[in-house]
Structure 1
Amino acid sequence: MSNDDILGGGRAVSAAGLARLLGVSSAAVSYALNGRRGVSDELRRRILDAAVEHGMDIPAAALRPATQPVLGLVLADVGNPYYSEMAISVTDAARERGFEVFLSNSSDAPESVAAAVDAMIHHGVDGVLITALQAGNADVCRPLRAARIPFVQISRRMLSAEADFVGIDDLAAGAEVMDHVLDHGYTKVAVVGGPVSSSASAHRADGFRRALRVRGVDLPRAWNITGGLNEVDGARAARHLLDQPELPEVIVCGTDAIALGVIAVLAGRGLQVPDDIAVTGFDGLTTARTSLVDITTVVQPRPRMAAEAVRLLHERQRTPNAPAQSIVLPHGLYIGKSCGCATRTEKIHV
């Protein structure tokens, strides 16, 4: 087959035709023509030389030196310190690979996630890390695919997105922390979870309830609470529970931030943790594991999650059509004193 056949019988060459001629991906041609990172300097020169040779109009961006590569990070809600700590981990991991990071807080609002993604596309980021995807958010992914910008889901995932994912087994972790609670002999258990539209929150709550069913412990409707992820949501849930005719012996929370809000309200009512009511969390916040608070909690390996997510983005730039990867990392269980244990220990699953 001749070059004319490949390029379309002598017509002005298209980016797709140039990619076929050079035997490279359309994404590589797009990166080179738009002055974006994602291709080597040698391949960039080869693509631009071929584009000039075949009479393509070269965008001004392609003639400027490629700037420092930038990743976008869309956070669910920095009101939950987990996302602040994740932002630090992602920034550290990205800089180790030569990337800078643009951050956006979505306040867990789908329209804000979409707006953040659109802004990142407009500013030409080289990849996007998203912690804020919820059920039904597929529309967020389409503009990224259209712009040929790789993205990775962190903690939360949508299977329909068919995109790379890094997280933990929230279902198993939820069951494990609940099993630990039930090993204390508690039978009056309340659950305060995050939004069911979040896959991570939904799986944690499923793990809590599964462990309760296996052990034959009932979960009264009034003690099964779903809401937001932050301290204010935990405080609201605690006030609801304290207004009930009977108090639970333990409150199992879907995040450490929720647990901190619960503990604050209990303290304000003169109730001691764990003597009057035990409390557990989820996420492994640094502040939640200090001797002052000492919350029993599932520990997510944030630095490793961040490093794997950045690595996946880097690989996706080089092999944009490779199958999506799902990386499930081992979690830990930190045993503090908030559950009623006398000593502090930590188990890491490998």
Structure 2
Amino acid sequence: MAVMKNKSAGTAVGRVTLLDIARHADVSRATVSLVMRDSPLVADSTRERVKQAAVELGYVYDRGAASLRSRRSLIVGVSITDLSNPYFAELTAAAEQGLLQVGRMALLSNNNESIDKQNAFVETMREYNVDGLIICPAIGTPVATIRRLSALGVPFVFLSRRIGGVKADYVANDNTLGLRMATEHLLSLGHRRIAMIGANTRTSTGRERLDGYTSALQAAGLPVDPAIIVESAPTRRNGMEGLMSLMAQARPPTAAVCFNDITAFGAMLGLNHLGMRIGHDFAVVGHDNIVEAGLWLPGLTTVAIPIEEIGRQAARVLLDRISDPGRPAQKVILAPRLVVRESSGAPGGMREPG
């Protein structure tokens, strides 16, 4: 039901009902109801006539009432950790597009690694009876928080990060493979003293990427030297400072893999500050392949993540959980690919643009 407005005066004169629309379109009320529910049983010409009548009368669909009737709001809450990071911005856009493809709208929260903000958003989403949640958990999210969601029967899926100790749906990139590919690329170019900048063990992503780096070195029979593993948050400044601290060592590395592209950009700035040629005097490889990676001079060799597919899969997995709450947890891990540009100094220069 909706308010009927006098179009010339713009004031409410009554509530537009389905019966009003039916009379205006010269169809039955049942037909109008079918149109409002997107039923395929209505002919296209009739559907258009009913929709036009609704527009002319100023009808606005009462989503709240429909939600009470169907117990579906067609809304999904999406909690992301840091939208200032281009990777998370692109990931959020992909998740939103994936939800649109399954008929859901996204309500977004940038929790900025705040557990309190994340919890407040989740509770608000529950109050609004959203269909489910897509969560990239903030650092330090307690296991108890996630177990409570499961106990309350709230459908959710972890995106990009996960919390250990709970069985839950999870969609992400293969982070271990990504850093292993990056490290193996540098090994194939002859580097033997390869640093990692931006290492961290506070998130599942960080632990997986660090494992990819160390496993590649070990497979090549090389030691893992803690002196050239720089632990830091993934920022440009930390990437620059990390690179400069490495180059100040008595035995500096000749190359570095970075936690992500943002950290790699910082490392490249550090090389520029030191007057070193990127890809000649020192090789750099990032991870994520955000748009900016292909715009730098020289272009950044990096690991591309299937962002759009991650978004589609997150929406699909959540819809599966909504439809069948008792189904086993799904774990969808998508394979990345190496994008070789000039920053690693690979023969042949730029093999793949953008």
Give the structure-1-normalised TM-score.
0.75
Distance 1:267 1:305, change over 3 A: same
Which residue in the other structure is 1:34 paired with?
none
The 1-side partners of 2:295 and 2:129 are apart by 41
Which residue in the other structure is 1:197 paired with?
202
Which residue in the other structure is 1:184 paired with?
189
Say whether 1:314 aligns with 2:319: yes
AA paired with 1:324? A
Distance 1:63 1:123, change over 3 A: closer
- Structure 1, gaps ≥5 residues long: 1-39, 43-58
The 2-side partners of 1:335 and 1:82 are apart by 19
The 2-side partners of 1:274 and 1:172 are apart by 23
Which residue in the other structure is 2:175 paired with?
170
The 2-side partners of 1:296 and 1:131 are apart by 26
DSSP-derived class of the 2:286 partner? strand
Which residue in the other structure is 2:87 paired with?
82
Distance 1:164 1:232, change over 3 A: same
Question: Any idea what the Cα deviations from partners look like across 1:84-133, whole Å, max 9, x if unmatched?
Answer: 11111111111222211122222234344333323332333221111235
Say whether 1:258 aligns with 2:263: yes
Task: Check conservation: 1:194, 1:255, Cα contact below 8 A.
Answer: no
Which residue in the other structure is 1:131 paired with?
136
The 1-side partners of 2:68 and 2:178 are apart by 51
Which residue in the other structure is 1:217 paired with?
222
Say whether 1:295 aligns with 2:324: no
DSSP-derived class of the 1:273 partner? coil
Which residue in the other structure is 1:344 paired with?
350
Say whether 1:142 aligns with 2:147: yes
Distance 1:71 1:292, change over 3 A: farther
The 1-side partners of 2:307 and 2:199 are apart by 19
The 1-side partners of 2:72 and 2:324 are apart by 21
The 2-side partners of 1:122 and 1:194 are apart by 38
Shift of 1:259: 0.6
Distance 1:68 1:116, change over 3 A: closer
Question: Any idea what the Cα deviations from partners look like across 1:311-349, whole Å, max 9, x if unmatched?
Answer: 111111110111111112221111111111133336xxx
DSSP-derived class of the 1:320 partner? coil
AA paired with 1:339? S
331, 335, 343: which one aligns with 1:326: 331
Distance 1:122 1:233, change over 3 A: farther
Say whether 1:154 aligns with 2:159: yes
Which residue in the other structure is 1:268 paired with?
273
Which residue in the other structure is 2:126 paired with?
121
The 1-side partners of 2:187 and 2:90 are apart by 30
The 1-side partners of 2:166 and 2:298 are apart by 38
Task: Check conservation: 2:115, 2:141, Cα contact below 8 A.
Answer: no
Shift of 1:82: 0.4
AA paired with 2:194? V
Shift of 1:215: 1.6
- Structure 2, gaps ≥5 residues long: 1-36, 40-63
Task: Check conservation: 1:134, 1:156, Cα contact below 8 A.
Answer: no
The 1-side partners of 2:200 and 2:114 are apart by 12
**What percent of counterpart residues are identical?**
29
Question: Any idea what the Cα deviations from partners look like across 1:265-298, whole Å, max 9, x if unmatched?
Answer: 2222322211221110111212112363521111
Distance 1:60 1:88, change over 3 A: closer
Distance 1:312 1:284, change over 3 A: same
DSSP-derived class of the 2:190 partner? coil
CA RMSD of aligned residues (A): 2.7
Distance 1:79 1:242, change over 3 A: farther
Task: Check conservation: 1:193, 1:253, Cα contact below 8 A.
Answer: yes
Shift of 1:161: 2.0
Task: Check conservation: 2:111, 2:138, Cα contact below 8 A.
Answer: no
Q: How many pairs does the alignment contain?
A: 291
Pair member with larger Rg:
2
Task: Check conservation: 1:133, 1:158, Cα contact below 8 A.
Answer: no
Q: Which one is further off, 263-272 or 59-68?
A: 59-68
AA paired with 1:343? G
AA paired with 2:243? A
The 2-side partners of 1:266 and 1:320 are apart by 52
The 1-side partners of 2:76 and 2:141 are apart by 24
233, 238, 247: which one aligns with 1:228: 233
Shift of 1:178: 0.7
Which residue in the other structure is 2:99 paired with?
94
The 2-side partners of 1:88 and 1:307 are apart by 11
DSSP-derived class of the 2:252 partner? coil
The 2-side partners of 1:85 and 1:60 are apart by 34
The 1-side partners of 2:104 and 2:65 are apart by 23
